[in-house]
Chain A
Amino acid sequence: MGNHLTLAVAGSRKTQGIVDHCATLPRERRALVVTYTQTNQDELRRRLAVYAGDHQGLEVLGWYTFLIHHFAKPFLPFKFPGKRVQGFNFDGRPMRMAKGYSRFLDSNGAVYACELGRLAHELVLESRGTLVHRLECLYEEILIDEAQDLSSHDWEIIDVLLGSSIDIRMVGDIRQSVLATNPRSAKNKRYAYAEVIGWFREREAQGLLEIMQSATTWRCHPDIASFSDTIFDASWLFPVTDSKNDTVTSHDGVFLVYKRDVEEYVVKYKPQCLRHSASSGKEFNLTFLNFKLSKGSTHERVLIVPTRGILQFLQTGAHLEPGPAASFYVAITRAKQSVAIIVDDPGNSSLPYWQP
């Protein structure tokens, strides 16, 4: 079997690919599916129940849960004898200079989410093989969805897993790496965002991994797909997205919308409205979803409130920084048929305006 990584574009049915793969597994095979976001976990569970409901050995865990249950909780005493993990602190941060116990756990014994990867990796080393042996006995295969979202020490853990007897199967879209696990960690900064690909290629060269590309989107209309390809500079060497969405409606593709037409547009097309964060798009009385939260979802049509960077990109063609580019990519690729962006000054943009 061996280890695999599939680099995919948005809408290429990554999650379904995992579900389909699970459905083909022999029933006695002990497999774990790890994913990053809560929405994706629920979605995976729901779909697995439909496609592989008879497979009792299939487990779905979030990345943090995976690290807590199989790394931190059972093996914490190897670093801190007599201590136990009493909980999980998602938002907290240790003091900048904190050392030892207080680096990883707060005063209530809850482990900091942002330090969990590092703790887990250190426990792998301290446990003298028992941690990895335990995992090897529990699972024959681990599938990791949204592999692009891992960061920092998480990569060390992937390295450990790649070196174990467990078959690792990862799926990710480098262009969607909008969520970073540890906002403060300096470790592995060089792997951030699209440089992740370099990391994977290195592992491939060492024979630890086989990388496959999947550039076909089943979701986005061809016009949306090709627009999404323009967001990243050609130097990233991303393959050109191929669209298999041949549905035709009265309003397909990428459009600009004047502010004054927004209300009418929303009434007419009922798009999902997307914004960068709660502070953007305040002038519109619409029900928004933030870019990051929209990840993993699919909508017929979307309407986007651009950030200053996005505006500049549209007006002048100046590329966004990798992070913002990734979140813009996510926003655009949520749509099946149409993307509309609220812009009053089009600059050099060649995108058509929607006419009421």
Chain B
Amino acid sequence: MITKIKVHGYRIYKKFTLSPNSKLNLIVGGNEAGKSTLMEAVALALTGRVNGRSASEELNPYWFNTSVVAEFVHKRRSGEREALPEIYIEIFFENRTELQSLCGAINSDVPTNACPGVSLRVLPNPEFADELEEWLKDPLPLLPVEYYMVEWRSFADEKITHRPRQLVTAIIDSRTVRSSSGLDYHLRQILSDHLDPAERASISLAYREVKASMSETALADVNKRIGELHASLHDQTIALEMDQSTRTSWEGSVTPHVNDVPFSMSGQGQQAAIKISLAMSRHSGKANFVMIEEPENHLSHTSLTTLLSRIEALASEQQQLFVTTHSAFVLNRLGLDALLLIGPDSARKISELDPDTVSYFQRLPGYDTLRMALANKIVLVEGPSDEIIFERIFKDIYGKRPMEFGIDILSMRGLALRRCLELCAALDKPVAVLRDNDGIDPTELKMPVAEWLVDGRRELFIGSVASGSTLEPQLVYHNSEARIRDILKITTAADLATWMNREKTETALRIASSDQKITPPEYIRKAAEFIYG
């Protein structure tokens, strides 16, 4: 199992370290946070390939972190003797018996650490020292990768040329790179890992025999006729035979079929599902790494549910799963505790989360926990009307909507406040919670969630019982009945409290879009001030 991943100078990562979970890793982050880059880097170090092509073929100047390169160019231009930027990706494995051939201390850990691992480095090729010297006289932000080399080694300092056989890696991405044979590189890899050597050999043999039999049947008559043709230079006979060279091995012709439809012709969702099943149900006894990029893509909600159950069913101790996702559904369903929040130099793991809370969200997978994970600051409110009113009040005070300050307002819609707060605490997010007092003393209401509250970090804001039990009476209390009637355009014929209570969302919308000045209820104003910071 991978115990640590270090990415240095590669694309968005200047210096990145991650200690993944041993079984399941749900990688989330905003756009451009580097989720795909992380997967790519791990695949690169594990397989020496990226998108099915070898690292040295794919190497290009954009692999280098732009700020590292910019800093280098700047220093060089100002006369410093800064060394050329390098990239390294290191994957550390658990100290297991079957991985010992990869064990050694050739890694960047300080103090010296011997454990199994692989590293991929991109560094200046000493054979081009003169050319590099010349280039360095006027360095540009695009590095001359022609003079660089890719070095793939184990921590034992042995060069690796083929993927070590103990490291079985399956990559399932949505960008299906179709090869001429109709199967993308990753699927061919997965298929070939799925079959044991004896099975592969027998398929290969049978395929050869079938091809050979063609020569005796359909081709026999044709060859008789062609044989009379004197077409070749020295009158040797010409015959049509099936090509038996390795170029035309069975891998190109044997493909999975779904209900008699070739794999490459079936839907993208189906393709993803098959790949995942094949990759995850492989022979045990090997360290299996399965990387799935955004499984929610190309799948309907029902298919996604089926697929996620399959992933769950196939997950075992032998596999380490990395899943990137933009879907809170995937996140909740596979288990919130496996969440890894990607940042620029590390990934934040969720700290201790009560298994009860994990299964709570698993049973309510529709809830947008991902928003909670991605927001800088969170305001938890009870329902849509609180959300609308809070936004209006916040904008009145600070002139901009909360989102523009990275503050996300989440409506709990009946979800237990305790669970939401626990998750926020586990994610270590600043939170303001707004809630109605429902006629109960606020101090009493704080008691059940007290363990998740921290002054200045996570606080609960509740209006006093005297100024109203819910949002609506609080608004009336702070603004006078006449003003609210005017804003809502309610005549005295209707009972204001009853109307507002019945039309909660409408009330909130009318208030929010009103041009008139609103005096915010005190607890909401305090919450806004708190979360603004």
Contacts and interface: CB of A to CB of B under 8 A. Distances in A.
Given A73-B106, A84-B106, A85-B157, A130 B114 contact: yes
A183 interface: no
Interface in A49-70: 69-70
Interface residues on B, range: 10 to 19
Interface in B316-373: none
Contact of B100 (A73, A75, A133): A133
B105 A78 contact: yes
Question: Is chain A's binding surface mostly helix, strand, loop or mixed?
Answer: helix
Name the residue among B97, B156, B157, B158 with the largest chain A CB count within 10 angstroms. Answer: B157
B157 A81 contact: no
A78 B114 contact: yes
Contact of A74 (B97, B103, B111): B103
Contacts of A76: 105-106, 157
A75 B158 CA distance: 12
A76 B104 CA distance: 9
Interface in A77-94: 77-78, 81, 84-85
Nearest to A86: B157
Interface string B478-518: 00000000000000000000000000000000000000000
Interface string A130-149: 11011001100000000000
A84 B114 contact: no
A59 to B, nearest CB: 11
Interface string B77-120: 00000000000000000000110110111100011101100000
A73 B114 contact: no
A226 interface: no
Nearest to B104: A74
B192 to A, nearest CB: 19
Interface in A136-172: 137-138
B114 A127 contact: yes
Given A85-B157, A137-B97, A73 B110 contact: no
Interface in B156-187: 156-158
Interface string A5-29: 0000000000000000000000000
B156 A69 contact: yes
Nearest to A79: B112
B394 interface: no
Given A69-B158, A73-B157, A84-B106, A78 B112 contact: yes
Interface of A: 69-70, 73-78, 81, 84-85, 127, 130-131, 133-134, 137-138
Interface of B: 97-98, 100-101, 103-106, 110-112, 114-115, 155-158
25 contacts: A69-B156, A73-B104, A73-B106, A73-B156, A74-B104, A74-B105, A74-B114, A74-B155, A74-B157, A75-B104, A76-B105, A77-B105, A77-B112, A78-B105, A78-B112, A78-B114, A81-B112, A84-B106, A85-B157, A127-B114, A130-B105, A130-B114, A133-B100, A134-B100, A137-B100
6 closest A-B pairs by CB = A74-B104, A137-B100, A74-B156, A130-B114, A73-B157, A77-B105
